[in-house]
Structure 1
Amino acid sequence: MCDRHLLEAYDWVVQDVGRSDLLPSPCLACGARLGVRYPSGWLCGICEWRVGDIPDDGVSVLRVDVVYYLRYKDRIKIGTSGNPRLRIAGLPHDEVLAFERGNRLLERRRHVQFAGHRIPHTEWFEPNDELAAHVSGLRAGAEDPWAQYALWRSQELALRG
């Protein structure tokens, strides 16, 4: 691809997946500066609060950061979110394979760990035995990833008293 067409393809993809950048101001919900810019506006890259929305008084955002593993056709996506229901709802997928407690640092480690099977410049990976074993280990004892996520949210809420 020539540079012009490559940039056009990049701009087209960014419309769906967003572009990481610094927020114009700290997130009102969690104070983070990392954001994701979409054509429709900004989301906090940590808690996914929409920039410009005002948190209700006294409302504290309950967040449990997870690394998620999705299957779509013959590919697996490794991503992260503090609000996986909202995030995953906007992604093409056939199945939520597993969750792992962790943030962007853990996500990056997983991308490096499975880099030999990564589809270049994406968070999608070709299926492979090493990744399948990892997902299987995460699912051990948890048939439904959403039930596991609900447990983690419940535990986080209990810790807050």
Structure 2
Amino acid sequence: MPERGAPLELCASHLMVAYDWVARDVGVTDLLPSPCLACGSRLGVRYPSGWLCAICEWRLGELPDDAASARVDVVYYVRAGDRIKIGTSGNPRGRLAALHWDQLLAFERGGRTLEQRRHAQFAAHRYPGSEWFASNEPLLAHIAALSAGVDDPWNEYARWVSEALALR
């Protein structure tokens, strides 16, 4: 079904494909998901392959040498349209740079076991064969609980990495 008001008679999914086609070369200037680790800027350019800082061209996902040795596994929650992905990574910057998503909703400290528990917890809303879930009240309530008091999930992740480094 064509998207209302779209300049072409395409559904939302096909409009996104066309958008990605153009954006792969020109990028889209927007706020970085977290401050640049190299210069602190919040302004970035998003390409289908990932983010670059608009000021110093640091690639989101690259870590400073001192942070590269600290691994913190997290379960991440990202939104793309009306779908929510629940995934896990020990390198969320690199992982999220490889995905197409609209908004980082929350991080939860934990690895594959916790991710599998969350998949089972929200299984009634899961898109078969994927880690994507239809937006639903129980999942949104869980995400709201995780993000309560957290202004930026990347700051929380940076704190966890800092704690892991301090423990070494």
Indicate how the Cα distance of structure 1 residues 148 and 110 shifts in structure 2: closer, same or farther if over 3 A, else same.
Answer: same
User: In the TM superposition, what is the alpha-carbon distance from 1:60 to its structure 2 partner?
Assistant: 6.9
Q: Which residue of structure 1 aligns with residue 163 of structure 2?
A: 155
The whole-number CA distance in structure 1 between the counterparts of 2:123 and 2:111 is 18
Structure 1 residue corresponding to 2:126, chosen from 109, 118, 125: 118
Q: Which residue of structure 2 aligns with residue 62 of structure 1?
A: 70
The whole-number CA distance in structure 2 between the counterparts of 1:88 and 1:147 is 15
Identity %: 62
SS of alignment partner, residue 130 of structure 1? helix
Indicate how the Cα distance of structure 1 residues 60 and 132 shifts in structure 2: closer, same or farther if over 3 A, else same.
Answer: closer
The whole-number CA distance in structure 1 between the counterparts of 2:130 and 2:93 is 21
Structure 1 residue corresponding to 2:92, chosen from 76, 79, 84: 84
The whole-number CA distance in structure 1 between the counterparts of 2:136 and 2:76 is 17
User: In the TM superposition, what is the alpha-carbon distance from 1:62 to its structure 2 partner?
Assistant: 1.1
User: In the TM superposition, what is the alpha-carbon distance from 1:103 to its structure 2 partner?
Assistant: 0.3
Q: Which residue of structure 2 aligns with residue 73 of structure 1?
A: 81
Q: Which residue of structure 2 aligns with residue 127 of structure 1?
A: 135
The whole-number CA distance in structure 1 between the counterparts of 2:96 and 2:155 is 15
**Aligned AA (2:139):** L
The TM-score normalised by the length of structure 1 is 0.62
Q: Which runs of 5+ in 2 are unaligned?
A: 1-64
Aligned length: 104
Structure 2 residue corresponding to 1:107, chosen from 115, 139, 142: 115
CA RMSD of aligned residues (A): 1.8
User: In the TM superposition, what is the alpha-carbon distance from 1:144 to its structure 2 partner?
Assistant: 0.5
SS of alignment partner, residue 122 of structure 1? coil
The whole-number CA distance in structure 2 between the counterparts of 1:70 and 1:96 is 4
Matched, 1:141 2:157: no
The whole-number CA distance in structure 1 between the counterparts of 2:157 and 2:70 is 12
Indicate how the Cα distance of structure 1 residues 76 and 62 shifts in structure 2: closer, same or farther if over 3 A, else same.
Answer: same
Structure 2 residue corresponding to 1:93, chosen from 86, 101, 104: 101
Q: Which residue of structure 2 aligns with residue 25 of structure 1?
A: none
Q: Deviations over 1:40-67 (max 9, x none)?
A: xxxxxxxxxxxxxxxx9xx972100000
**Aligned AA (1:149):** Y
User: In the TM superposition, what is the alpha-carbon distance from 1:126 to its structure 2 partner?
Assistant: 0.1
Q: Which runs of 4+ in 1 moved over 3 A?
A: none
